[in-house]
Every structure is written in structure tokens, then in C-alpha cells.
Structure 1
Amino acid sequence: MISLGAEAMDATRIFVDSEFARLRTVVLAECEFRAPDAMPLPADLAFLPQQASAAGSQTPGRSLAESHPDVQRAWEAEREALAAVLRRHQVEVLRPRKLNAAEKAFAGARGYANFFTRDPFFTIGPFLIEGSLRFVYRRIEVLPARDLIFDWAMRTGCLYVAVPQPAIADDDDGGAGPFLEGGDILILGRHVFVGQSGLASNDAGIRWLANLLRPMGYTVEGVRLRPDVLHLDCALSLVRPGVMVVCEDAFLDGVPSALANWTRIAVGLDEVAQLAVNGLPVTSDIYITDPAFAAVGEALARHGVAVEYVDFAISRSMGGGFRCSTQPLLRAD
């Protein structure tokens, strides 16, 4: 791991050392979603839990807030509950703005999302990177966060770059990309794992990232996943040094060899869509998950991890958990 002294900590306000370094500043997602009039192909939505159809079904042309106001309120309450836990652990919580009328009008029948900050931008070491999202309805999702992250980048002098815009496609698979989504990226010091299931990040995005980070001494490793697993963080959570929550069946080539000697808290493939793996380390000793996954929490407790439980049923029904809902700007011990 990369250790920051007190002087460096004051100067470096955007930096992510690992998945379990102390979380100091985080962007927590808003709760805006309007489904596309023509949803993606069923195969592209295989990662969603079965109850997603109930939470996400909407009248065409209307947002979730308009079609299911009760679900919207519950969703917002979940995110506020998570914010409260984070603040109790001295984490600075930032929120992106809401989508404006012009952005919603531009999205039109393609729909829009402003609901999972993990994917549209991400942080690796001193790099703040705007991603490139495969689903068309998510491609303006970075805009509500950009006002915030642009300001932070300009004030801190971090390395602020963006993945090239994806090519315009005339087929159903989203085109050639490049695609690179934050949910696929797990950081372990200067070793970066990037998931590749065919639903999100692709080979072009991984090669772009490797080319960017190589001069800084980083190794980027592509990790192939089953085609019904959206992101790497749905199958693997690095909780603390030597301890991980993992669904081994989600990996086409096995768990990465760099993690071969880690203790494995196993989760079944049937729990991946429920987001059982998608918890959030606050430090290497504190982890947030849903009470639905008490078995995971009890296993972590046996390894010295204090577990905080937040009911996240609505967020999970929308396809994302605690890690999906947050993006760190500063994670360092």
C-alpha cells in the first residue's frame, strides 16, 4: 500500500490507495431514474434481481418518482441512512446535483439515470477518471457529478482525465466502446483488477486504462466474468488485507492469482444478483452491508471486522448496492 504522511494527506485530497484504506471523502449517489422507453435486451438485464421488475416498472415517459412515489421515498431514505452511518464514522459525504431539465429533455425516450456514482467516474491513486458507460441511458450520468468533481480536481491538482467517448453503435450490443465502468475496478495498491463480463467494461477500455497507468507503476489485470454478472464488485469485495467476500463461480478463469492466499468468505451465485458481495469497507475494520446478508456479516466478524447493517432493499432492487452507490475521492490510511 501507499502510505501518506500528515503533510501529504493535507495536500492530496483526491487519492484512493485500496478498497479498504480509510474512507475519508465519498460521493454518495442521488436517486433519479427514468427507464428507457425501449429497455435493453433481456440478456443484458440478467444481472438484475427478480424483484427489480416491481421496483423498476414504470409508465413510459415517467420517472420512478412519478410512477412509484412510495418506492422513491423509500429509496431516498435508504441513501440517507447510509449517509448517517458514514458520517458517524467521520466520513465526509458529498452529493451530486440533480439532473436538470435540459439534460432530461436531451435523454428523451432513451431514459436517464443518476443513481449509482460508482460507474460514471472513479478514482485510482491520484487519478480521477470519467468513465465510459455501455448502457445508453446511463451515458449522461457523469454530468450531475461533474460540477462537484471538476471543482475538487481543479483545487487539488489531481490527474483528471476521461475515457474516450464510446463509438455510436447501430446494433444491440452497445458497439465497440471503449467501455470502462467503476463497478468493474478494484484497487489493491498499484494492482488494479478490471472485470469484463460483456455487459460493462470491455477489452478496449482495459487496454486504455493499462496504457494510462503503466508509467505510474500500476499493473492492470483484466478479470473475465460470467455474462450474467454486471460488474466485478458484484462478485468480489476486498474487505481487509487477506480477507475477501467472493463468489468463485462468477469467475471464468478462477479468482485472480494475486488473491490466491486470501481468506475467502464464500457467496453463492444465486446471491450475486441480490448484491450480497457489494458491501462497503469504511476502514479495514469496519464494513457496511445489508441485514439480508447477516451470514456474510457474521463471517466477517469472526475475522475482526465490525459490521454495520443498513436496509438497502430498494437500491438493490434497482441493481446496485453500497459500493455501487458511493465513489471515494479520498481513501488512504
Structure 2
Amino acid sequence: MKKINVVSEFAPLRSVVLAQSQFCFPSEAGEAEFDDSFLTEENARLARDSAGMDLSEADSEKQEQWESEKEAMKALLESYGVEVLRPRLLTAYEKESGRASGAGYSNFFSRDPFFTIGNVLIEGNLKFMHRRHEILPLRPIITEWTSAVDCYYFAAPQPDISDGTASETGPFIEGGDVLVLGKTVFVGYSGLASNLQGIHWLQQIMGYFDFEVIPVRLHPHILHLDCALSLLRDGLMIVCEEAFLDGIPEQLQSWKKIYVSLKEASILMTNGLPINENVYITDCAFSELIAKIEAKGIEVRSIDYQISRIFGGSFRCTTQALVRE
């Protein structure tokens, strides 16, 4: 029987949504609503040079490699008995309308358009205009699961664009900013994604279910909280301390820490994925980090996720758990 239940970031992963690999760069490089400050200079340059193009047009080799990464990730997850679901592909109309608007289109990170806390599934709001419709390819999965299980299903209010599409009003709330630890939920905000209006809305909703939602102020070049923090197991985390402008949250200060720098965070070194408390997935490029994790008694499974990281996300960003218990 289907269920939705996520009790923590490291509880055994049972069912997960793994993203597709579709992206068309916004047609106007540097447009107000596309802040590329969270990308490395190399990746930001790719975005500027490929404005208005699908990655398959800009670099077909990278596109093939990107798709292969997802297949390798799917096989790895399934080898641990994890049920893997995939969003539908974009339609021709969705692609055409994205190009026509100049915003481009995306179907590449299933973490952000929706998220799960306990047995509550929430559709969020994405700040970047080229990602505003990213929830739609995920809807068939969401609809099927929420209609078949005992759960709650909410959607954040539409963002206010009365001052234009670049309005900061929101509310914005993105899954990459949301980390679950039992009845405690940490939500990051840096100015690039979730904002305080979105966090306040989430606090109102989750308060009815006895969850405590804690805002976490982040460095302005950190896209999401999961780009600065990874909870490996109870009492152990990977963290970029520089990214926390008000310090590491009190609830996590006593935890053992594997530190990464702000530069290392920018290449998604904290954005791995626990399968459970004993197994962690990260990029094979992070050899020093892998050794530190293994020294803590955790098995590390690594694959090449270089192309996914070009777009500012890695293993956690390309997955959204439906069941972790």
C-alpha cells in the first residue's frame, strides 16, 4: 500500500522521485530573475553562452552524460531496494511556450517544487521564473499518491507579481531549503530561493501538526540549505559553517561535524543523499570528503554527477523522498 511519510533526512529511504534531465537556458543572460551568483564562474559562463538554448542543442555530449547520470543513480537506489519514480517529460507545448516567453524551461530538480514533512506533502513556489512550472511534470505522481494514501496535501499561495515577475514578495518556499529532523524542520533563506513570507506560511501550516519550523539565514551565494548542510545520521552532519550568518542552529550545535568551505559548498559538496544512517551517496570527485565520511563508519557509494552539478544541484536536489521511515 502506498504511503507518504518522511521522518528525517536519514531515515531509511523507501520511495523517491528522481528527476528528469531537461533544461532550456533563459534567453536573456543576466536577466533580473535569474541570479547566477550561486553557480561557479565556469557554470555561470555556460548559462550566459547558451542563453535560449536547450542543453541538447548547446552540448549534446553533456546532455547524454546528464541522462546517463540519472540512470546510474536510479540503478544505485534500486540496488538498495528503493522504489524510484520519474516525472513525466515536458510536452512540445511546454517547451515552445517556455522559449517564447524567454524564461526557458526546466525539468531537472525534483527536490524543490514540492517537499514532504511527515505525512504532509506541500507544493512550494520557486523564485526563478524558468522554474515556476516545474511542478507540472511531477503532478501525475503527486496526484496518484495523495489520492491513494492517508496524508495531507497543501499548496503554497501563488507568488505576488503585482510589481513584476522579479518581485521579491513571494511567498517563496522551495524543497531544497527544507530539512526534516523528527518534529523539527529547518528552512533556509538566502535571498535566492525561499523567503521569510514563505517560511511564515509553512510555520502556520505545520504548527497544526506540532512541528517546529526554524528559519535559517544563509550566505547570499548559497542557493538552498541543502547546499550548506547534510544530516548523515543522528548526531553527525556535513556543514559549511561560513554559510550560516547567525551560526549553526542551536539544535545542531552539539552534533559532530565534517566541515567544508564556502568554495567547496559551491560545488555541492554537502548535497549528498543518505540511503539510511549507514549508507551515503556522494560524487566520486569528492575523494577527501569520502574518506572523512568513511572514517565515521558510514559506507559511501559514489557516482559521477558532474553535469547535474553544473546547474547548481546534486544528489539531494535531484531526488524527493515520499517515504523515509
- Structure 2 length-normalised TM: 0.95
Q: What letter corresponds to residue 79 of structure 2 in structure 1?
A: R
- What letter matches 1:46 in structure 2? S
Aligned length: 322
Gaps in structure 2 of 5+ consecutive residues = none
Counterpart mapping for 1:158-177 below 5 A: 158-168=151-161, 170=163, 173-177=166-170
The corresponding residue for 2:3 is 13
Q: Tell me the CA shift for residue 37 of structure 1.
A: 1.0
Distance 1:106 1:42 in 2: 18
Task: Show the 5 A alignment for 1:99-118.
Answer: 99-107=90-98, 108=100, 109-118=102-111
Secondary structure of the 2:134 match is coil
The 8 Å contact of residues 56 and 64 in structure 1, kept in 2 or not, is answered as no
| CA deviations over 1:271-297 (Å, ceiling 9, x no partner) | 111000000000010000011212221
Give me the whole-angstrom Cα distance separating, in 2, the residues matched to 1:302 and 1:60. 43
Shift of 1:317: 1.0
Paired residues for 1:137-152 under 5 Å: 137-152=130-145
Cα distance, 1:157 vs structure 2: 3.0
Counterpart check, 1:64 vs 2:61: no
The DSSP-based 3-state class of the residue aligned with 1:288 is strand
Which residue, out of 39, 50, 63, partners 2:41? 50
Query: Residues 251, 87 of structure 1: CA spacing in aligned structure 2 closer, same or farther, 3 A cutoff?
Result: same
Matched, 1:226 2:219: yes
Deviation at 1:330, TM superposition (A): 0.5
Matched, 1:319 2:312: yes
Provide the secondary structure at the position in 2 that maps to 1:281.
Answer: strand
Cα deviation 1:65-111 (Å, max 9, x = unaligned)? 12211110000011111111101111011000011122223323111
Provide structure 1 residue ranges, at least 5 long, that are not aligned to the other structure. Answer: 1-9
Partner SS for 2:208: helix
Match of 1:297 in 2: 290
- 1:106 corresponds to which letter in structure 2? S
State the 1:43 CA deviation. 8.5
The amino acid that maps onto 1:31 is: S
**Are the counterparts in 1 of residues 34 and 129 from structure 2 also a CA contact under 8 Å?**
no
Q: Say which is worse superposed, 22-31 or 39-48, in terms of deviation.
A: 39-48
Identity %: 48
Q: Which residue of 1 aligns with 2:257?
A: 264
Distance 2:162 2:77 in 1: 40
Tell me if the contact between 2:186 and 2:215 (Cα under 8 Å) persists in the aligned partners: yes
Within the candidate set 13, 18, 22, 1:28 is matched to: 18
In 1, are the aligned partners of 2:114 and 2:135 still within 8 Å (CA)?
Answer: yes
Deviations 1:181-233 (A, max 9, x none): 00000000010000010110001100000000101110000000010100000
CA contact under 8 A between 1:169 and 1:176: conserved in structure 2?
A: no
Residues 57 and 44 of structure 1: is their aligned pair in 2 closer, same or farther, counting only changes over 3 Å? closer
How many angstroms apart in 1 are the aligned matches of 2:69 and 2:240?
A: 25
Within 2, Cα distance between the matches of 1:15 and 1:298?
32
Partner amino acid for 1:92? E
Residue type of the partner of 1:93? V
- CA 1:307–1:173 in 2, change beyond 3 Å: closer, same or farther? same
Equivalent position amino acid for 1:297 in 2: I
- Could you tell me how far apart the structure 1 residues matched to 2:45 and 2:323 are? 36
What code does the residue aligned with 1:232 have?
L
Question: Which amino acid counterpart does residue 83 of structure 1 have in structure 2?
Answer: K
How many Å apart are 1:320 and its aligned residue? 0.6
SS at match of 1:304: coil
The match for 2:300 among 307, 310, 325 is 307
TM-score (structure 1 length as normaliser): 0.93
Residue in 2 aligned with 1:119?
A: 112
Give, in angstroms, the shift of residue 31 of structure 1: 0.4
Measured on the aligned residues, the alpha-carbon RMSD in Å equals 1.6
Deviations 1:123-178 (A, max 9, x none): 11001111100001100000000011111110113111101110115457433000
Amino acid corresponding to residue 188 of structure 1 in structure 2: L
**What CA distance in whole angstroms lies between the structure 1 residues aligned with 2:155 and 2:34?**
29
